[in-house]
Amino acid sequence: MADVASPNRDTSATWTYHNRTKHSYESVNGDRHALDWANQPSPYKVYPGLDPMPLPRDLPGSRASALSLLTGQDRPAGVPPILDLPLLATILHHTVGITKRIRFPGGTMDFRAAACTGALYHIELYVICRDLPGLEAGVYHFSVHDFSLRQLRSGDYRDALVQATAGESSVSQAPVSIVATSTYWRNSWKYQERTYRHCFWDLGTCLANLLAIADAHRLPARVALGFVDADVNRLIGVDGTHEVALAIIPIGSDVVSPPPSGAVEPLERIPERLSAREVEYPAIRAMHAASALRSLEEVAAWRASLPASGSLPAPSSESNYRPLSTTVAFESLTIEEVIRKRGSSRRFRPEPLEADQLSALTLAARQRIPADFVESSGLDYNTAYVIANNVADLRSGSYAYDPTNHAVEQLRDGDVRLRAAHLALDQELAGDAAINVYFLSDLEPVLRHFGNRGYRAAQLAASITAGRLYLTSYALGIGASGLTFYDDEVTDFFSPHAAGKSVMFLIAIGKPAQRVARSG
């Protein structure tokens, strides 16, 4: 365990933030926050004076079936390819790149590869690499707006990440690591204090894409949350206040460890302001600071803590326990095609989800997340709860998903569409959806093992899984949308099974009103 004097061990900070940012009917309807459109933040981070290094537009694709990949039925085999600039470009593009541009009277709207709360796109990516074919060693910012890299440091700085992670082996072996950050203000402009939750919701959907693309190209990739925050912030030149490092994602594997990088001096690259005026939300900064790791010893102790995968209660009765199919036989688009097609559904048709589609979605949900905060056995610390409004061969009601046995246990019988809509902030979309999938975490044991940083892990584990459900939905030719919720009412609805748990994420899935094509 880490030093008991560490702020990370005082988990009252998590409970203070989590309870403070819960939605209730009263809090939502009493909120007088108005969007200041004249002060809306720019969706792009721009470094004036830094020349762009354009990325290749002819991106290498895979032939990997998205469904086979996402459900774990078949993964590409063979020797991993050389990680060169075009392959790096396809990873970056399919993680946070622009995949659609919608024109409307008065302007355009750029949509990105992964879902993001409010389409506000506050996740930034930085590349730390050795010499690659087509790219010299350095620290780079991925500039989404013009699909380029901008060099912040020249030279091989990978060892600085190895040191910051207390020797995380996947980082030491990777030719490339990506550091993901959040620029709070882009999201808090709309969502205020709740943005800290959104940091990990939106990062998770991005990482679901990244991990799937890496998998399709046979590249090992892993998510690391254990690092000294200040050291990583300094390396990529962010202030740790307005923009913060959230995760490190090493990609690929080398047999040679990186050379010593030496001292990491502060950067003086000043980006353009996001808007004329930024509103501060101290609760966000306080939560992030309370979950920061401040020394290598603290990182090593944090990683050595055993994760807290909860076990599902035994089924209340065998008659309510429904096994699901462990195979799916759909043809599918490639993962790149699915990412480019993905959107967020705004309307669902009143048509049932097929039983084998539900099986495919739950198979995707049970796949192991490659991360330093997940057990080798693979299952993280969220339980998936399902509101089934319209599924063929499945009675309407609520269910708990048991990933170990790939089965669902019915908790409540009957038509709950109106309740589903209410729980999702009274949004009709949730009532029209074929299913709503909620991820709930028993935070008490997670925080006991990981401290406040466990809150980051629980949110991220849920959102990566939800991101996989997004992709699986579009691979199946159906649609999905992430929604928010009345926290305590959701827990009450799924109780006593969910008693004491906290809601991390909600995704609604169904047949979209505007048809999404599926082809082989």
Tell me the per-residue pLDDT of 447-497, one tens digit each, with 9 for 90 and over: 988 999 999 999 999 999 999 999 999 999 999 999 999 999 999 999 999
Domain ranges of the chain: 37-293, 318-512
Q: Identify whether the C-beta of residue 506 lies closer than 8 Å to the C-beta of residue 115.
A: no
pLDDT digits 0-9 by tens, 385-421:
999 999 999 999 999 999 988 999 999 999 999 999 9
Domains 37-293 and 318-512 are alike in CATH topology: yes
- Neighbouring CB atoms inside 10 A of 519's CB total 8
Strands 502-512 and 479-483: what pairing?
Answer: antiparallel
pTM: 0.94
| Percent of the chain clearing pLDDT 90 (strictly above) | 79
Question: With 70 as the cut, is the pLDDT of residue 1 above it?
Answer: no
CA distance 82 to 129: 13
Q: What is the phi/psi pair of residue 246, to 5°?
A: -110, -35
pLDDT for the residue 222: 96
| CA-wise closest residue to 501 among 312, 321, 314 | 312
Weakest-pLDDT range from 21-25, 103-107, 346-350, 379-383: 379-383
CB atoms within 10 A of CB 417: 18
The third-level CATH classification (topology) of the domain covering 318-512 is: NADH Oxidase (3.40.109)
Least confidently predicted of 37-46, 101-110, 172-181, 329-338: 101-110
Query: What is d(CA 295, CA 292) in angstroms, rounded to the nearest whole number?
Result: 10
Task: For the chain, report the end-to-end CA distance as a whole number of angstroms.
Answer: 50
Question: From 3.40.109.10, 3.40.50.970, 3.40.50.300, 3.30.360.10, which CATH number describes the 37-293 domain?
Answer: 3.40.109.10
Query: What contacts 316, CB < 8 A, 6 or more positions away?
Result: 409
